[in-house]
Amino acid sequence: MYTSRQAWMFVLPALLLYAAFVAVPILQVAAYSLFSWDNGSIKAFSGLANYARLGTDGVFWTALGHNAIWAILTLCFPLLIGLILASILAERSPRVVKVMSAIYFLPRTIPLVVAGIIWGWIYNPIFGLLNYVLDLVGLGSWGGAWLAESGTALISLNVAGAWTFYGFCVLIYLSAIQSIDPSLYEAASLDGASWGQRFRFVTVPLLKSTTLFLGLYSAIEAMRFFDLVWVTTQGGPGYDTEVLTTHIYKTFFLVGDFGYAAALSVVLLVIVLTVGGLSYRILRQS
Amino acid sequence: MATVSFDRTRKAFGAHEVLKGISLDVADGEFVILVGPSGCGKSTLLRMLAGLEQATGGDIRIGGRSVIGVSPKDRDIAMVFQTYALYPHMTVSENMGFSLRLAKAPKAQADARIKTAASMLDLGQLLDRYPKELSGGQRQRVAMGRAIVRDPKVFLFDEPLSNLDAKLRVQMRAEIKALHQRLKTTSIYVTHDQVEAMTMADRIVVMNGGNIEQAGTPLELYDNPANLFVAGFIGSPSMNFIEGILEAGSTFRSKGGFTMPMPHGLAAKMGREAVYGIRPEHVEIARNGREPTLSPTITVVEPMGAETLILAEFDSDSISVSYRGRDIFKPGDKLPIVIDPNQAHLFDKATGEKIR
């Protein structure tokens, strides 16, 4: 048995790395948020003044709203699509499962920046694939500048985001479905359940904790989202696709308002930690 | 209630033929047990009757109606699974009433049927519990309750007792039998345990390698096994088999040269290679000066309380003897035994069929 001191020695290297690269920078950012800055250097201690600005910062609230919409849409579509595809796939032969899982998961392996470029092309109003296909099927009038119009920009971006995420949901759901005792489905068939009823009364309830995990995971991801937005719209047009991370980026690098950017970062951190803590608690309970 | 018929029913998984043309008729209200070693096709046959596997040939009829191509839900059968297959997110009551809920049965009627089944199985106090809160035996009862609630034409049981401990298995065996006597629903039950088969069945169907070896009442199979496989499978401890040859004067000579009396009235061909079968409980210990048939050397003594099982060897053969009594025997002793020829069976060595 190790003594407590020896045990600490084993933990120490990881602890030092954690402190140097996680804890200290976070505390640093939190500290910076309490100062006013001028041209990259601290001007004066301002207390909570940077936080007081949040209330009147319309862009912050718009961005936060977009993050919330993003989280809700992610919960609705990639999770639902993932669940349905996984349920269909689970009844196929192992070979089909293997091939289709790889195909579904492919978008997840593409870096988000590349995914952003791909979807930038797809949505391009002049040579984009989407408008071309709409033209082809006689719905040319529906076409438009998907990422440049305020009505469609956020939804279009979310579709791209869903494309990068649904494969992950398929795989997680698939492994959860495969761990369900097959005799439950056989019993349900004998009890008179159709495919839809087996899905509703057996699959969905038994995937509760998986759905909870994916939901909370996607909520955290939705708050941290940056690459796809930055590559495609940079938060535009206007602030129509602005999210917290792009707002922070602009405040820091373009405006140079380090104190306020730090305050925004702390707020984002608190939100993510709250959702994360909540997830941990709920998952443990379930 | 209904009759069940298998008519040259076949099943193959790819090139591997699991069932090689099964023909069997189950009477209305009969309790039939399919028994056999792992891989003999008994569970596949049951699952085909349930509609969970599709037949690759032949016909299956329930109540005279062919069910080939009919979905499981339209066959009016209920099945109790080896793993119980209770829905873990539903209470006992919800599990039992699930089929009624799907059939959109009126709530009052559904509640009444659940209540009746629950009282029949002594589950009244457990209706609001979840499966994880129940013991193995209680789960087993709920699985049966779920089947009873549906009031099906046929009950199917797929090794329902194999996950229970020995004591509970004996208790549940009696409960299932009592339940069948009360409901009189046609029941088909799969097990690899011949004791279960012997104690519960109206009729036993012994299967091996995708074929039916013999079908009959438990005592028919015990007293008159059709072949070596059935003789070895039915009965515990298993029948002794001694290889040898038939000689003049109605004598069987073992390979080691020992002679044994042939069953009376048997006109067997001389010189034919045969297997002599005698159950351990039909071998007596020679007492009061009786002339022993054999005096093998004891190798193992297994006292079991009510009876004692002794394993003994003679030449290259061995024989087990089961008897009621507490004589002190120990390994190395000679065991003087008498074999009653009328309790013995002779089988053809080449075909395994009983010589009659």
Q: Which residues does A61 contact at the CB level (< 8 Å), separation at least 6?
A: none
With CA atoms as reference, the chain A residue closest to B84 would be: A183
Mean pLDDT of the region A71-85: 90
- Assign B268 a pLDDT band (cuts: 50, 70, 90): low
Q: Is the pLDDT of residue A69 over 70?
A: yes
CA distance A70 to A93: 35
Mean pLDDT, residues A173-198: 93
Q: What is the pLDDT of residues A34-66, one digit of tens each?
A: 998 887 788 888 889 999 999 999 999 999 999
Confidence (pLDDT) at A259: 92
Question: What mean pLDDT comes out for the span B304-329?
Answer: 87
Instruction: Supply the pLDDT for residue B298.
Output: 94
Q: Is residue A78 part of a domain?
A: yes
Q: Which residues of A touch B78 (CB under 8 A)?
A: 190
Q: Is the pLDDT of residue B127 over 70?
A: yes
Q: How many alpha carbons lie under 13 Å from residue A254 in its C-beta half-sphere? A: 7
Q: What is the mean pLDDT of residues B164-177?
A: 87
Q: Output the CA torsion sign for B93, B98, B99, B103.
A: positive
With beta carbons less than 8 A apart as the criterion, state whether A184 and A37 touch. Answer: no
Alpha-carbon distance A188 to nearest alpha carbon in chain B (angstroms): 8
- Using 50, 70 and 90 to split pLDDT, how confident is the model at B279? very high
Q: CA distances (Å), B162 to each of A250, B140, B190, in order?
A: 67, 11, 10
- Look up the domain containing A222 and give its range: 65-241
- pLDDT higher than threshold 90 for residue A25: yes
Burial class of residue B89 (count of CB atoms within 10 Å of its CB; 0-12, 13-18, 19+): middle
Residue B201 has pLDDT above 80, yes or no: yes
In a domain, A274, yes or no: no
Q: Using an 8 Å CB-CB cutoff, list chain A residues near B13.
A: none
CB contact under 8 A, B73 and A193: yes
Q: ipTM of this complex > 0.95?
A: no
Chain B residues interacting with chain A (CB cutoff of 8 angstroms): 50-52, 71-73, 77-79, 81-83, 85, 87-89, 98-99, 102-103, 146, 150
CB A268 within 8 A of CB A243: no
Question: Do B83 and A192 count as a contact with CB atoms less than 8 A apart?
Answer: no
Helix (H, G, I), strand (E, B) or coil at A236: coil
Q: Report the pLDDT value the prediction gives residue B265, as an integer from 0 to 100.
A: 66
Strand pairing category for B65-66 and B57-62: antiparallel
Interchain contact A3–B (C-beta under 8 A): no
DSSP B234: S
**Taking CA atoms, what residue in B is nearest to A181?**
B85
Give the pLDDT confidence score for residue A44 in this predicted structure.
85
Please tell me which of the candidates B87, B99, B102 has its beta carbon nearest to residue A184: B87
Please say whether the beta carbons of A210 and A280 come within 8 A.
no
Cα B189 to chain centroid, rounded: 9
Classified as helix, coil or strand, B193 is: coil
Chain A residues within 8 A of B80 when measuring between CB atoms:
none
List CB contacts of A158: < 8 A, sequence separation 6 or more: A69, A70, A73, A74, A77
A187 touches chain B (CB under 8 A): yes
Output the pLDDT for position B267.
Answer: 63
Give the nearest chain B residue to A206 (CA atoms): B89
Token digits of residue B345: 């069976």
Q: How far off is chain A from B86, nearest CA to CA, in Å?
A: 7
The span from the first CA to the last CA of chain B, in angstroms, equals 38
Q: Which residues of B touch A194 (CB under 8 A)?
A: 73
The SS3 assignment for A238 reads: coil
User: Which is nearest to A177 in space by CA: A101, A83, A108, A98?
Assistant: A83
For residue A286, the model assigns a pLDDT of 67
Helices and strands counted in chain A (H then E): 15, 2
CA nearest neighbour of B201 among B182, B177, B227, B223: B177
Which residues 74-103 of A are in CB contact (within 8 Å) with B? none
The answer to whether residue A40 is domain-embedded is no
Binning pLDDT at 50, 70 and 90, where does residue A1 land?
low
Please report the sign of the dihedral spanned by the C-alpha atoms of residue B269, residue B272, residue B274, residue B276: positive
The position carrying tokens 């004589």 is B327
The number of folded domains in chain A is: 1
pLDDT score of B289 more than 90: no
Q: What's the whole-number mean pLDDT along residues B249-253? A: 79
- Looking at residue A91, which CATH number applies to its domain? 1.10.3720.10
- pLDDT by residue (tens digit) across B307-319? 899 999 987 889 9
Residue A122 lies in a domain: yes
Query: Do A188 and B98 make contact, defined as CB atoms within 8 angstroms?
Result: yes
Q: Which residues contact A111 (CB under 8 A, 6 or more apart)?
A: A227
Q: Under DSSP, is residue B336 helix (H, G, I), strand (E, B) or coil?
A: coil
DSSP, collapsed to helix, strand or coil, labels residue B259 as strand
Q: How far is CA A52 from its chain centroid?
A: 28
| Tens digits of residue pLDDT in A225-279 | 898 899 888 887 889 999 999 999 999 999 888 999 999 999 999 999 998 888 8
Q: Is the pLDDT of residue B24 over 90?
A: yes
**What per-residue confidence (pLDDT) applies to B263?**
76
Pairing relationship of beta strands B16-26 and B31-35 according to DSSP bridges:
unpaired
Q: Residue A106's pLDDT band (boundaries 50, 70, 90)?
A: confident
B-contacting residues in A 197-226 (Cβ below 8 Å)? 197, 201-202, 205-206, 208
Average pLDDT of chain A is 90
| Confidence check: pLDDT of B26 > 90 | yes
Q: What is the pLDDT at residue A140?
A: 77
User: Distance of CA B89 to CAs A100, A254, B111, Å?
Assistant: 30, 54, 19
A29 lies in some domain: no
| C-alpha span between A255 and A261 (Å, rounded) | 9
Q: Which residues of A touch B87 (CB under 8 A)?
A: 184, 187-188, 201-202
Please spell the DSSP secondary structure of B50-67, one letter per residue.
Answer: HTSS--SEEEEEETTEE-
Provide, as residue numbers in chain B, all residues whose Cβ is less than 8 Å from the Cβ of A186. Answer: 50, 52, 72, 79, 81, 85
User: Do the domain assignments include residue A80?
Assistant: yes
Beta bridge partners of B311: B300, B320
pLDDT tens, position by position, B93-102: 999 999 999 9
- The answer to whether A259 touches A251, Cβ cutoff 8 Å, is no
Nearest to A193 among B83, B102, B150 (CB): B102
Confidence of residue A33 (pLDDT cuts 50, 70, 90): very high
What distance in Å separates the CA atoms of residue A136 and residue B253, rounded to the nearest whole number?
91
Q: Among A190, A202, A206, whose Cβ lies nearest the Cβ of B78? A: A190
The pLDDT value given to residue B77: 93
Hey, what are B81's tokens? 């699974």
Burial class (CB in 10 A: 0-12, 13-18, 19+), B196: buried
Cβ atoms A33, A46 nearer than 8 A: no
Q: Which residues contact B109 (CB under 8 A, 6 or more apart)?
A: B100
List the beta bridge partners of residue B207.
Answer: B212
The mean per-residue pLDDT over the stretch B59-75 comes to 93
Contact yes or no for A192 and B85 at CB 8 A: no
Nearest CA in chain B to A198: B102
Q: pLDDT tens digits for B103-117?
A: 999 999 999 999 999
Alpha helices in chain B (DSSP H): 42-50, 92-102, 107-120, 136-149, 166-183, 194-200, 218-223, 228-233
CB pairs under 8 A between A and B: 56
Separation in Å, CA of B1 to nearest CA in chain A = 17
Mean per-residue pLDDT, B125-145: 92
> Which of A192, A202, A205 shows the shortest C-beta gap to B99?
A192
| Phi, psi (rounded to 5 degrees) for B18 | -90, -40
- Interchain CB distance below 8 Å, B99 and A201: no
Within chain A, strands assigned E span 35-38, 41-45
